[in-house]
């Protein structure tokens, strides 16, 4: 099932999410994960966090495009349940980011190249991994969502002034529905 995306201005995007008690809701979470993947496929996204679909839980998914063979397919996907970043390290790089919850806004964000993270995967097995490259960047972006942070928070004050009208417009759309 395609899920509606929560748009900038909704307070859930600024809340720190709570851990999932997967013993009591494993089946329900598994169905939600399926719906989240279906949603990013429709929206042509590469990651999605639970607050972006109105759920205040520590869950996000990633499915980056396949950059290795030039196809437009996908070669990797991962589920992150109750994730905790242990360390962000490596070289800094700046890339242009966007977000399904802030349509029409793009901007340069500086992030480090490596992320060490502990989480439960789709099989509910505890993992501890280091991710690099585009996966690291997407994980950091989606992790920010479950911490109540948005990619626009990294923008310079000048860039924030430049997008202010767009953000107000998005906020007004949800306020006056």
Active site residue 38: no
- DSSP string over 72-84: SSB---EEEEEEE
Residue matched to tokens 């280091």: 130
Distances (CA, A) of 113 to 92, 95, 108, 140: 6, 11, 15, 10
83 within 8 A of 127, measured Cβ to Cβ: no
Question: Rounded to whole angstroms, how far apart are CA atoms 8 and 133?
Answer: 27
Q: For 111, left (φ over 0), alpha (ψ -120 to 50), or beta?
A: beta
The catalytic position among 63, 142, 147, 172 is 142
As annotated, the active-site residues are 142
């Amino acid at each position: 099932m395609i899920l509606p995306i929560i748009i900038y201005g909704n307070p859930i995007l600024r809340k720190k999410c709570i851990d999932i008690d997967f013993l009591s809701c494993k089946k329900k979470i598994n169905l939600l994960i399926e719906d989240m993947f279906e949603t990013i496929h429709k929206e042509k996204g590469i990651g999605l966090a639970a607050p972006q679909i109105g759920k205040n839980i520590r869950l996000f998914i990633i499915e980056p495009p396949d950059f290795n063979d030039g196809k437009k397919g996908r070669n990797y996907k991962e589920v992150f349940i109750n994730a905790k970043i242990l360390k962000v390290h490596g070289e800094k790089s700046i890339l242009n980011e966007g977000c399904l919850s802030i349509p029409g806004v793009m901007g340069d964000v500086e992030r480090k190249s490596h992320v060490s993270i502990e989480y439960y995967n789709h099989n509910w097995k505890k993992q501890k991994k280091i991710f690099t490259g585009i996966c690291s960047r997407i994980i950091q972006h989606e992790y920010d969502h479950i911490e109540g942070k948005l990619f626009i928070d990294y923008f310079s004050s000048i860039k924030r002034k430049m997008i202010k009208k767009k953000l107000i417009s998005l906020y007004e759309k949800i306020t006056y529905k």
